[in-house]
Every structure is written in structure tokens, then in C-alpha cells.
Structure 1
Amino acid sequence: MAKVGIVMGSDSDMPVMAKAADVLEELGVEYEMTIISAHREPDVFFEYAKSAESKGWKVIIAGAGMAAHLPGMCAAIFPMPVIGIPMHTTSLGGRDSLYSIVQMPSGIPVATVAIGGGANAGILAAKILATSDDALLERLKKYSSDLKDQVVAKAEKLDKLGYKEYMKQK
């Protein structure tokens, strides 16, 4: 059964939201992904948010740009954690999305990652779930260890090649 709902306001958000899905897949966390516009189809959105708990979801990851009401409205309806991903926008570079998601009124929090931070949203969702799932916690520890190993390998390569040759290979 899916434990995470992933929702975006437009298919233009898919490249960022796919990063959240990729991380969840890597960590063995089931999810459902969909596209819903809170502004253009509010009835569909309300049903989505109202039914999320009965579907067994523990976290919703919601990405949106510009006015970015999708994450906040999810948080207003869904009683468990919502993670908002602000999308980069051409007019204001995503700051509009960021402010819209992070500046929620008291009592309606949305955990907010960086503009375009799909991977971090997936990791944060997994960390929330890992508070009650020891196997997932172990997979997260391995994920973190693998990240460290990648940095160590890059540092060793830099030491071996020097920065000029290293840059040529990037």
C-alpha cells in the first residue's frame, strides 16, 4: 500500500517531482503520483486531500509554482505531514512559490524544501516514515553512507588527478 502521495499542479513540475519518486523507489517506499490543479479543479483536489488518510498515506509531497496553494491546502485538509516543493518560475525564480509555501498561518505547517528540491522531499518523507519503520531507517542510513562514499571517491579522484584534469573529466 502506498504510504506517500505525490501531487503536482502541472505536468511541467514532473522533472522535479520525479526526483522525489526516484528517491522513494530507491528506498523501497511505495507512493502514488498524480496531477491536480487546486485552482482549476478544486472539487477533485478536495476529494484527493480528504481521501488521503483513508488510503493509508502518512505523508503528502506537494509541488507547485507561482501562487503555490497546493501544498498549503493539502496541509489544511490532510492531518499528517505535508512536504512542499516550490517550483522555479520564470518571473520570480521560484521565490514566489517558496514564500507562498513556507509562509503558512499558525496551525497549518508545511515542511518546505528548497526550490526544485524534489530529492530532498523524497528523503524527508522517508525520514518521517522511518520513525516507525526500522527497516526503512536502516535503508536511509545506507543511503547516507553511500552519499559519503561518493564524496570520498571524488576527493580521492581530485587528489590523484589535480583540479585541471578533474574538471576536464566532468
Structure 2
Amino acid sequence: MNDKNEQKHIKAGIIMGSKSDLPVMNDAADIFREFGVEFEITVVSAHRTPERMFEYAKNAASRGLKVIIAGAGGAAHLPGMVASITTLPVIGVPVKSSNSIDGWDSILSILQMPNGIPVATVALNAAKNAGLLAVQILSTADTSLAEKMQAYKDELRKKVEESAAEMEK
């Protein structure tokens, strides 16, 4: 979108329908920071700024992005509309917003995409899992990132084994 974000080393985009989604979507940004993935983050509303959304999705691949995480609440059209424009993988994060029906409207709007326009969908407010899924997608072409992901999963396993060992004493 701006010159700072037009650098080819940025691999992932995090977009959201409103700045109010930022507390949820920051979890994906935290994962990217932890894994050393360069990313951009911005607000792109499918309803209030459709031209901005179209330009973002249309130009994402040419700017070097490999995956997009799109968070949205309420009617949650952003992930699906972006997926309809780009060939990049899109991961949708349903966000429980102030105008949502307990988050179900967002979940179903993102999950129930028509055949031909897939959106990988994570649980309500699960931007952390969206970040991890994006890292796994990126790691298919980056052995260093794949090694970091394996270390992350090994650490998860180790924590569970330690918890089990403590409980079994």
C-alpha cells in the first residue's frame, strides 16, 4: 500500500476490516515476529473501502506476498472477497465484534465459501493459529522456516510431556 510495504521481502499480509479488530489480529503479527517472517498489516474494509480491498488483493502477489491473513467481524466478507481476487492462499479469521451475533455470523460468512473460492478458516478470534498456518504454508518453500516450525512443535510436545510427568508423580 505505501512505499514501506512495497518491498519484495515482505512475505505475508495481515488485513482486517476495522482497526477494532487489531487486538485479535496482533496475535498473528506476534507469530510472524517470533518466526522472523516479514509482514505488513493494515485495515482493508470490503464494505467501506472496496476499491482499496480490490487493489490490495490484486497487487499482493506482485508485491512479494505469499499468503494473506484476513480478519473480519459481522458479515465478514473480507476474506472471501480477497480470495476471489488473488491466487494467494487466504486464511480467514472470524472476529467476534460488537455487532456480531456471538461470532457465528463471522464464522459462517468465512467458512461457507462457494466451491472454487477457498478460504482456510480458523476458529473465532484465533489469529495465532492463522499465523501458525501461514508460517507452515511459507515453510514449504523455506527450509529455515520449516526448521523453526519443527522446533516450535517440539517445544509444544515437550511442554505437554512435562505436564503429564508432573501430574503422574
Does the TM-score normalized on the shorter chain lie above 0.5?
A: yes
Q: Give yes or no for the alignment of 1:127 onto 2:112.
A: no
Corresponding residue number in structure 1 for 2:92: 84
Corresponding residue number in structure 2 for 1:67: 75
Q: Give yes or no for the alignment of 1:53 onto 2:45.
A: no
The unaligned stretches of length 5 or more in structure 1 are 161-170
**How far apart, CA to CA, are the structure 2 residues paired with 1:11 and 1:89?**
11
Shift of 1:147: 1.2
Point out the more displaced range, 96-105 or 148-157: 148-157
**How far apart, CA to CA, are the structure 2 residues paired with 1:47 and 1:33?**
15
Point out the more displaced range, 150-159 or 26-35: 150-159
**How far apart, CA to CA, are the structure 1 residues paired with 2:127 and 2:167?**
28
**How far apart, CA to CA, are the structure 2 residues paired with 1:111 and 1:56?**
20
**How far apart, CA to CA, are the structure 2 residues paired with 1:42 and 1:33?**
17
**How far apart, CA to CA, are the structure 2 residues paired with 1:159 and 1:112?**
36
Aligned positions, number: 160
Shift of 1:151: 2.2
Shift of 1:143: 0.5
Q: Give yes or no for the alignment of 1:137 onto 2:146.
A: yes
The superposition leaves residues 46-105 of structure 1 with CA deviations (integer Å, 9 ceiling, x where unpaired) of: 111111011010100000011000000110011110000001145421111010001111
2:137 partner letter: I
How many percent of aligned residue pairs carry the same amino acid? 55
Q: SS in structure 2 opposite 1:25? A: helix
The unaligned stretches of length 5 or more in structure 2 are 1-8
RMSD over aligned CA atoms reads: 1.3
Q: Which of 1, 11, 19 is equivalent to 2:27? A: 19
For residues 96-107 of structure 1, the aligned pairs below 5 Å read: 96-107=105-116
Structure label with greater radius of gyration: 1
Corresponding residue number in structure 2 for 1:38: 46
Q: Give yes or no for the alignment of 1:28 onto 2:36.
A: yes
TM-score normalised by length of structure 1: 0.89
The superposition leaves residues 9-59 of structure 1 with CA deviations (integer Å, 9 ceiling, x where unpaired) of: 111111111111111111111110001211111111111111101101010
Shift of 1:154: 3.1
Shift of 1:155: 3.3
Q: Give yes or no for the alignment of 1:155 onto 2:164.
A: yes
Shift of 1:157: 4.3
Shift of 1:150: 2.1
**How far apart, CA to CA, are the structure 1 residues paired with 2:160 and 2:131?**
21
Q: SS in structure 1 opposite 2:71? A: strand
Corresponding residue number in structure 2 for 1:168: none
